[in-house]
Amino acid sequence: AGRSPVETALSPVKSLKASLKQDLTVLRHMWFSKARGGDHAARLENFYGPQAKAYDKFRANFLWGRKPMLAACAARLSDRSNMVWVDLGGGTGENVDMMSQYLPLENFKAIYVVDLCHSLCEVAKSKAKEKGWKNVHVVEGDACMFSPPEGTATLVTFSYSLSMIPPFHDAVDRAVSYLDADGFMGVADFFVSGKYDLPMRQMPWLRRFFWRATFDTDNIDIGPERRAFLEHRLERVWEVNSQGSIPYVPYLRAPYYVWVGRHRQLGHPPHENRVDRPALFPPTFLYTQSWEDPEPDMQVMGINAADTVLTLTSGGCNALNLLLHGAGEVVSVDCNPAQSALLELKAVAIQQLGFEDAWKMFGEGRHADIERLYEHKLAPFLSQTSHNFWVPRLWYFKEGLYYQGGMGKLCWVIQCLIAFMGYSNTVKRICDAPTLEEQQKVYNDLLLVRFVKHGPQLLVWLLSKITALLCCNRIVLWFGGGVPGKQYDLIKQDGTPIEAYIARTFDGVAQNSHLRKHNYFYYNCLTGHFLKDNCPSYLKEANFGRLKSGVIDRLTVSTGTFLGELRARKYSKVILMDHLDWMHREQHEEYAAVLAEQVVAGGIVIWRSAALHPPYADIVAAAGFDVKCISRADQGYMDKVNMYSSFFVAKRKTKKD
């Protein structure tokens, strides 16, 4: 017989009551039970035995590092089979169940769950039998003594167990002794930093003291010694330091880390530095795409395999384009860590995803399955700074990447204004126009365009001033268009009102550049996406394949000052974009001097400026460059972006010159 309506209504209440009872059992033993016993095994049994059956549910909302650790290991082993995995301190075998979300368990010929606690091992055995895991072997034993019968293991993991092993040196030494030469070790655990530690691990003294003392009451040592010993024996491949909530304990968040290591190889970067966004920058990126036409750049730079190129990151599209044109090495730097996070995500997507998934993310700007894709394939290869940026912003790919950030929000507002004015269908006709001539016709027939070009001058002047006040003020230009105050002043010094400057930009594009076929910049701004035949070069399928084949490995993404990266090495090509527009004269002189030191003889430097005659052009020339203006806005349409007033190229003089 079925349940009565009353029983059905009370079912969630009963379930909640049972769940709460289990959690309280765990909490009672965590807070009030002492780890007593004659040896370590007895102490573990005394502590975990009474809570073994409730262990998994409670820890699912506490041990936040387990899934990222398993995902990071699985992502690095996805193309392998016939593997051996040893999970040391594996407890109830829950890690095996979690791993099945990331890798088919059939990829392992043997999985060993090793734990010293009898009660937890019994739960693991029941779980393996219930789920039919024929290749899972539960071993009640000491991690310091265990070795797999096969002699070697592809993967060894410590999931919140290393901090509970007093002779941790022995446990790590033993694990390293049977780790395959190309195998990985994954560790997730609570931690506190040392007094002097790596930047991404560092904690203030009070936090170090509080958490170490708190865990010490349960015989758990979360000090920095264990991770230090791991890095003495192995090479760190990837790590994340974070913090997670604690059930029924508001406000407090326990620090944890995820670490993946391997046997030592040459050339691995030592550590990641902590970076913060500059003052007055928004908490996200300004640009979702590079806002400079790369075609004129390529025409004057002559990129080749011998080149080491320095460029500003911006949206990152043009850095990838340099690789596709054959640059030997591209260093892309930005002071805004959000811009670096965007380019790093693009680079990791190229390395780890198929074309269609990458196209959905960066071509369409949306991916319905972004959470799973990020957890399984992208996060395991991102830096901690980029990971911290993206985790709370994955919704960007739900609502449209190209409507996010400063420029994205400006595009969204413009589209709203277009809809409010009743021009949506007209703008769609412009974007979909099959030819430039058809685009020009639709554009020139717009009432607003005809009014601005042929209306009464007084009314046109009044409209332009109101528009400038509302839409072209310094705040909107900075947070929406990335135009700083110094660059705004350069425009004014040329005697061009800002509204006339912007009108010149858009009118030039509409009259000279076919949006549907040849101008992905403005097509994206007006639609929120690219087309496969009208997109940045890295989003073309053939180019995506080239980058994926290893070309992308020649990219270095750096967060910091342009001057700092310029001083770091010699360059044959440097792309300043409009960077010097943001500087004052003393900085111009410093940049020119460093360019003279770091750009090799015959090397090329290019830049764009919002000024017709940028004041720093002569300063660069005096530092030892032949400077030439390639194009200027007062001479007509410049390029597909058409938003600058001048484009310069400077060649480093040789001794003969």
**Are the beta carbons of 380 and 72 closer than 8 angstroms?**
yes
| Long-range interactions of 516-525: CB distance < 8 A, separation 24+ | 516/431, 516/432, 516/433, 516/434, 516/439, 518/640, 519/640, 521/289, 521/291, 521/293, 521/640, 521/641, 522/640, 523/431, 524/289, 524/402, 525/402, 525/411, 525/414
**Are the beta carbons of 638 and 606 closer than 8 angstroms?**
no
Lookup result for tokens 């060649």: 651
For residue 2, pLDDT over 60 is answered with: no
321 CB-near residues (< 8 Å, 6+ apart):
294, 298, 536, 537, 538
Q: Distance between CA 467 and CA 470 in Å, rounded?
A: 5
3-state secondary structure of 81: coil
**Are the beta carbons of 550 and 580 closer than 8 angstroms?**
no
Q: Distance between CA 161 and CA 87 in Å, rounded?
A: 10
Classify the C-alpha dihedral 415-421-422-428 as positive or negative.
Answer: negative
Residue 424 β-bridge partners: none
pLDDT tens per residue, range 516-529: 999 999 999 999 99
Task: Using CA atoms of 209, 214, 220, 226 in order, give the dihedral in degrees to the nearest 10.
Answer: -20
Tell me which of 446 and 386 has the higher pLDDT.
386
pLDDT tens per residue, range 328-365: 999 999 999 999 999 999 999 999 999 999 999 999 99
**Are the beta carbons of 175 and 143 closer than 8 angstroms?**
yes
| Confidence label for 455 from pLDDT (cuts 50, 70 and 90) | confident
Q: Which of 627, 621, 618, 616 is nearest to 586 (CA)?
A: 616
Tell me which of 317 and 46 has the higher pLDDT.
317
Residue 115 β-bridge partners: 140
- Kind plus residue range of the DSSP H or E element containing 572: strand 571-575
Q: Which of 442, 407, 409 is nearest to 427 (CA)?
A: 442
**Are the beta carbons of 262 and 153 closer than 8 angstroms?**
no
DSSP 237-268: EEEEEEEEEETTEEEEEEEEEEEEEES--TT-
| Long-range interactions of 276-279: CB distance < 8 A, separation 24+ | 276/337, 277/336, 277/337, 277/338, 278/335, 278/336
The angle formed by the CA atoms of residues 332, 337 and 338, to the nearest 5 degrees, is: 100
pLDDT tens per residue, range 160-186: 999 999 999 999 999 999 999 999 999
DSSP 299-355: HHH---TT-EEEEE-TTSHHHHHHHHTT-SEEEEEES-HHHHHHHHHHHHHHHHS-H
**Are the beta carbons of 563 and 587 closer than 8 angstroms?**
no
Residues in the chain: 657
| Confidence label for 30 from pLDDT (cuts 50, 70 and 90) | low
For residues 492-504, average pLDDT: 85
Q: How far is CA 308 from its chain centroid?
A: 24
Identify the pLDDT of residue 34.
63
215 CB-near residues (< 8 Å, 6+ apart):
163, 190, 221, 222
| Confidence label for 214 from pLDDT (cuts 50, 70 and 90) | very high
For residue 24, pLDDT over 90 is answered with: no
Identify the pLDDT of residue 1.
46
pLDDT tens per residue, range 269-302: 668 888 888 887 889 999 999 999 999 999 999 9
Lookup result for tokens 């400026």: 609
**Are the beta carbons of 192 and 208 closer than 8 angstroms?**
yes
Classify the C-alpha dihedral 582-584-585-589 as positive or negative.
Answer: negative
Identify the pLDDT of residue 56.
75
Q: Distance between CA 557 and CA 345 in Å, rounded?
A: 11
285 CB-near residues (< 8 Å, 6+ apart):
315, 336, 338, 339, 341, 342, 404, 405, 406
Identify the pLDDT of residue 368.
98
Phi, psi of 469 (to 5 degrees): -65, -40
Percent of the chain topping pLDDT 90: 75
Identify the pLDDT of residue 374.
98
For residues 469-494, average pLDDT: 75
Q: How far is CA 111 from its chain centroid?
A: 33
Sheet holding 249-262, edge to edge: 136-140, 108-115, 83-88, 153-159, 179-190, 249-262, 235-246
Q: Which of 351, 362, 310 is nearest to 570 (CA)?
A: 310
Q: Which two tokens stand for residue 474?
A: 């310094």
Longest CA pairwise span in the chain (Å): 99
Tell me which of 482 and 217 has the higher pLDDT.
217
For residues 434-443, average pLDDT: 97
Identify the pLDDT of residue 489.
82
Region for 265 from its dihedrals, namely left if φ exceeds 0, alpha if ψ lies in -120 to 50, beta otherwise: beta
Identify the structural domains of the chain with CATH numbers, from first to last: 53-262 (3.40.50.150), 405-527 (no CATH)
| Confidence label for 29 from pLDDT (cuts 50, 70 and 90) | low
The rounded mean pLDDT for the chain is 91
Residue 84 β-bridge partners: 110
Q: Distance between CA 287 and CA 323 in Å, rounded?
A: 20
